[in-house]
Structure 1
Amino acid sequence: MVNIIECPRDAMQGLSDFIPTNVKAEYINKLLKVGFHTLDFGSFVSPKAIPQMRDTKEVLSQLDLSTTATKLLAIVANVRGAQEAISHKEISYIGFPLSVSETFQRRNTNKSINEALDEVAYILKLCHSHQKQFVVYLSMSFGNPYQEFSNADMVLEMAKKLHNMGVKIISFADTIGSATVKDVEVLFEKASKILSESELGVHLHCHPSEAYQFAQTALNVGCKRIDSALGGLGGCPMAKDDLTGNLATESLVKALSDFQGITPTLNLLELQKANEFRQQFIG
Structure 2
Amino acid sequence: MNSTARRMFELIEPIGAIPYAADEPNEAMFALGFTNYWDTYFAGRAAPLGIVPAEVVDALFYNFAPGEVARHIPKVWDTTTPEAAIAARQRGCVKALRRILGDHVDSPAFARATELLLRAATSAPFAGRPMYAALRAIPIPEDVVARLFHAASLLREHRGDGHIAALMIEGVGGLEAHVLYALDLGMPAEKFGRIHHLPPAQLAALIDGVRARTLTGDDGGLSETGRAVSARVEALTDDLAAKPYESLGPDELDELMTTLEPLATLLLAAQDW
Is TM > 0.5 for Structure 1 vs Structure 2? no
Larger strand fraction of residues: 1
* Higher-RCO chain (CA-CA 8 Å, sequence separation at least 6): 2
Larger helix fraction of residues: 2
- Name the larger-Rg structure: 2
Normalising by structure 2, we get a TM-score of: 0.29
